[in-house]
Chains A and B, each alone.
Chain A
């Protein structure tokens, strides 16, 4: 069914639009025939007879809907195109029109050929000529109604009951009706008579000439010429549609022009046929083809039409998109070749006389917007505007109301088509000046098809210019390079910019949004490529001089593909110039050195810089951002690579003075050579960060002091004026950051070891049967201990002999101060603390005749868990000594140790580790407890007072 539908579609389209492929059309007819046959065969055996015409009708009506929605007309397509946003893009148009053309009008015969039959259900017209075989139905209405069905006899008589034979053949239906009625009425008064024709007689006609199936046809007596033609299968494409003749008795009674019917709806000549008529279709006459922008491109047969204008009328006229002045007529000359005649349909061309076989090509108008200007960018109403002669920027943007917030006033951009050179050009203008000073030179005059672009201040411009840049690149030639420059580095909006011929560096900076603050004014680089050699040359420019003299060397005119590098004072310049420097290296031929120099040391921006022509040491210093504050100006070294004979290289180290001119040494005006390396040193004794020492406690002037290099403790103490009477010099705590860090690292390591230890303990429950505690109990204790130890912080206390260091300034006791040192001088303390595993940990009054064990005993003696042999004293100055160390003989039982106890010290009796865990860990435990307790005990007194 689908193919049938499509076939119908094709047929319909052909009729309606008159434009489709010839071949497809033929195909469609064939398919239709086949389909009908197929349907008939299928219907026959099961008796499921379906009227074929219905199927066909259905198909047509369906296709009607589908066809409209499926393929838009040419006009619709043209309008759809025009509805798109206006662009200035040009589309290349070949001079092509439709690839094929059909002969006009023949499609009428391709529909429903075989199912055609004269319509019987319509009223018979009164002028219908009655002939033998017509069947009348005569109804008589009176007291009793009678109906007769009467057939005209061969003699032409109608036998009406009670009336007799009436001669009706040759009469028209109307006359026959009157005759019958009157005859009946004359005999039977009061009878109402109704006469109708039931069946019509058939007539035989000959259809000859250029028709599909010529021959004799029996058709309904009510058939017209067209009916007969259609039922005969239609006219072949070789037959004329404009000169169909009906001959009756040797005379031509009708001359039918089908075009009149198809184009104007006039059917004069479409007469009713009579018996014995001959329909003759002569061969087709002169034809003209019309292709292109007309309503119905097709091949037309000519009758009376002679001029182009008349022929165009046949095709329904020109489309709006037709280029009237560019119509072509392709004609066969008398010499037997083709020629082309260019005609202007809007002028006299319309009256050109056509010739058989001409092909009229109506080309479309150029798909190109003219007389418009386009406005884009940061405006409220972007789009196309009408161009007028003398139009200026200020006419397009009549007021600032058009601009969106943040529009750039300093620069606007126009892409223009040069009509002479056929090249895109760019123009920049100052929008602010254009609006404020209308009509002046800065208010540029616009040309048709200009594209005016307004920037904004914040977004990147390179993407907005990308299209133009691409266009310029596409149109460049070897001699005529695209006017494009790249702005790199410290630009507001860097990227690729087109420029106008004659633009200079500062112009481009304006285009890119102006000079940014923080731009290095003394050093910027212009990289220029010589396109004949492909070599890159880097030129150093000074913006300060360019601003000073806008027409001088430092503000040069730009050339295609220049790269401009601007720098700031922070970012790495070498990195930005990396590609250019790599190119300099690549292009250096054998036997030469690449023009590259390097600055190292105390310059602001170390790195590799290009050796620009005439570069001196001072220029390199500028390039590298200047000397640092701490740089040593009196002497720097210049390492120079020399080539001897081009093969041997030697490195010379030259000393040069940066700040003064010195004829003995090289100075800052020394001309640099390739691969020179400038190394700037630091000023001797430069103090990066001053050193401070804090002194607290019992001194006359506590506070924060700045100390010089190599200043000692003694020097500082003397300077700040000494100690108060209460000062306990022996107990002075000296904290040093570097020491603290070392201690902290050691402590951390210890903690890690403890963690490992703990893990081990957990992993091996009941490691030794001899454990004094159940393993679970032991690990729990260990865990508790470690948790308490975790926050331990190192203090960084340095044990010093303050007494001899300060009072005597003894060289062995004195020490050089460091930044962050903290000196705390405590008050005199006459007490001794006892801590740890004693029964009553407390403090005791210092008495010189008491020794360590005495204090322990004063605190109630050691507990069961105490490890008495490991008791130790933390002296006030931070020193730690075990109680037994001084003892020549360890006599715990009875004889007290003779260890000296100083005021402010703490005596610690540690816990017996044996009681906690297996003996194998004792040493680790001990070490840890010792360190931690010391660090706590040694400073305890400082903060308790």
Chain B
């Protein structure tokens, strides 16, 4: 049994108006942490010296891209194992930097700006509410809130499961950790987390095909951002499960971060008239169903004579 120093569990609550969630963020304690973040040489060779997040709001608004999930939970692994050095910097620092970049890129206009930090060794009531700006700009002051004693990453996932299981909404869990940390225990915990969201599955017979799933709006997608070595997948990925793994250095650049955020938390652009052309490309936004459209979303053939033929 490894004695883990601190595990940070951070939860960001989505979609203003929904119930609040707890959050604990451990951000790097860099003394020169101003608006310009220091460049981490280890993150990526092609990295720029400052991280200027891509402004996603315009694109999201223009293309009418809706969030896929209502809640985003970011689980930062700050256990003792993460103090191992990778290219001269502790892994935990990578974890914090990646999280910071994701948070800075994530548009907040549709998400509530409520951040909760909690210590799972202590009582839940010890949660403290913070704004995102506080999280990002005064990260060094968070040091005091972040100290959590828990046994391991798997426990933290279980803790998260407890928090999520009551919710009837879709959630995304971003697990920022080192690849080596995905132990069998963690896998089991993640399975429990998934099962907690699929408890309402049923058995439906449609024609000759047996369908075990009900249409469930609740669900959880688990994204693993791995730091450290160059692996890119974990056994948490499965063909039938939501979510995927990705290497931290692949999403370190502003546009890559934005791409990750869009892919993980947002749906494809909306297509309100169902003609297969995204609304932002659709010049004819209300196509009659069944018509053949062109790439501009308008009827490809002009006339529509009768409905039942001659």
Residues of A at the B interface (CB closer than 8 Å) are 537, 539-541, 545, 548-554, 556-557, 595, 613-616, 634-637, 642, 644-645, 648, 650, 652-653, 655, 657, 659-666, 670-671, 681
Contacts and interface: CB of A to CB of B under 8 A. Distances in A.
Given A655-B242, A663-B170, A664-B219, 4 more contacts: A613-B293, A613-B300, A662-B213, A663-B217
B263 A671 contact: no
28 contacts: A537-B294, A537-B295, A539-B292, A549-B306, A549-B307, A549-B308, A550-B310, A551-B306, A551-B310, A552-B305, A557-B303, A595-B295, A613-B276, A613-B293, A614-B297, A615-B276, A634-B240, A635-B240, A642-B259, A648-B255, A650-B259, A659-B211, A663-B170, A664-B170, A665-B242, A671-B271, A671-B276, A671-B278
A551 B259 CA distance: 44
A539 B211 contact: no
B239 A554 contact: no
Contact of A552 (B209, B244, B295, B304): B304
A476 B227 CA distance: 66
Given A644-B255, A661-B215, A671 B299 contact: no
B291 interface: yes
B12 interface: no
B190 interface: no
A494 B299 CA distance: 29
A680 to B, nearest CB: 11
A898 to B, nearest CB: 56
B173 interface: no
Given A655-B239, A671-B268, A614 B219 contact: no
Contact of B242 (A539, A541, A659, A664): A664
B31 interface: no
B233 to A, nearest CB: 9
Contacts, number: 106
A587 to B, nearest CB: 13
A759 B301 CA distance: 79
A553 B276 contact: no
B217 A550 contact: no
A325 B6 CA distance: 114
A442 to B, nearest CB: 15
B95 interface: no
A554 B303 CA distance: 11
Contacts of A648: 255
A549 B309 contact: yes
B255 A655 contact: no
B268 A556 contact: no
Contacts of A537: 294-295
Contacts of A615: 276
B196 to A, nearest CB: 14
Contacts of A642: 259
B277 interface: yes
Given A537-B294, A671-B268, A553 B309 contact: no
B256 interface: yes
B239 A553 contact: no
Contacts of B255: 644-645, 648
B290 interface: yes
Nearest to A666: B268
A652 B259 CA distance: 10
A653 B244 contact: yes
A565 to B, nearest CB: 16
Contact of A664 (B221, B295, B300): B221
Contacts of A614: 275-277, 292-293, 297
Contact of B301 (A557, A637, A662): A557
Rank and list the top 4 A-B pairs by shortest CB-CB distance, nearest first. A614-B276, A635-B239, A664-B242, A551-B305
A525 to B, nearest CB: 12
A634 B239 CA distance: 8
B219 A663 contact: yes
A558 to B, nearest CB: 11
Nearest to A557: B301
Contacts of A554: 292
Nearest to A616: B276
Nearest to B258: A644
Nearest to B253: A648
A666 B259 CA distance: 17
Given A635-B240, A664-B242, A553 B209 contact: no
Contact of B240 (A549, A557, A644, A655): A655
Contacts of A634: 239-240
Contact of B309 (A550, A660, A662): A550
A662 B275 CA distance: 20
Nearest to A619: B276
A638 B299 CA distance: 28
Contacts of B271: 671
A648 B46 CA distance: 13
A539 B293 CA distance: 9
Contacts of B308: 549
Contacts of B277: 613-614, 671
B72 to A, nearest CB: 14
Nearest to B239: A635
A887 B238 CA distance: 61
A671 B217 CA distance: 20
Contacts of B276: 613-616, 671
Interface in B257-293: 259, 263, 268, 271, 275-278, 290-293
B202 to A, nearest CB: 12
A551 to B, nearest CB: 4
Q: Which of A642, A650, A659 has the most CB of B within 10 A?
A: A650
Contact of A659 (B209, B221, B293): B209
Contact of B292 (A553, A671, A681): A553
A509 B265 CA distance: 48
Contacts of A655: 238-242, 244
A14 B120 CA distance: 129
Contact of A553 (B242, B256, B300): B300
A226 B208 CA distance: 117
Nearest to B244: A653
A644 B253 CA distance: 12
Interface string B216-249: 1101110000000000000000111110100000
A660 B213 contact: yes
A652 B240 contact: no
Contacts of B240: 634-635, 655, 657, 665
Contacts of B301: 553, 556-557
B309 A548 contact: yes
Nearest to B281: A613
Contacts of A553: 290-292, 299-301, 304
Nearest to A556: B301
B277 to A, nearest CB: 6
Contact of B256 (A539, A650, A671): A650
Nearest to B308: A549
B213 A670 contact: no
Contact of B259 (A595, A644, A653, A657): A644
Q: Which of B217, B294, B300, B310 has the most CB of A within 10 A?
A: B300
A454 to B, nearest CB: 27
Contacts of A670: 268
Contacts of A653: 244
Contacts of B209: 659
A552 B289 CA distance: 12
Contacts of B294: 537, 539, 613
Nearest to A635: B239
Nearest to A552: B304
Q: Which of A614, A642, A662, A663 has the most CB of B within 10 A?
A: A614
A613 B299 CA distance: 11
Q: Which of A541, A636, A663, A664 has the most CB of B within 10 A?
A: A664
Contacts of B291: 553
Contacts of A644: 255-256, 259
A485 to B, nearest CB: 15
Contacts of A613: 276-277, 292-295, 297, 300
Contacts of B292: 539-541, 553-554, 556, 613-614
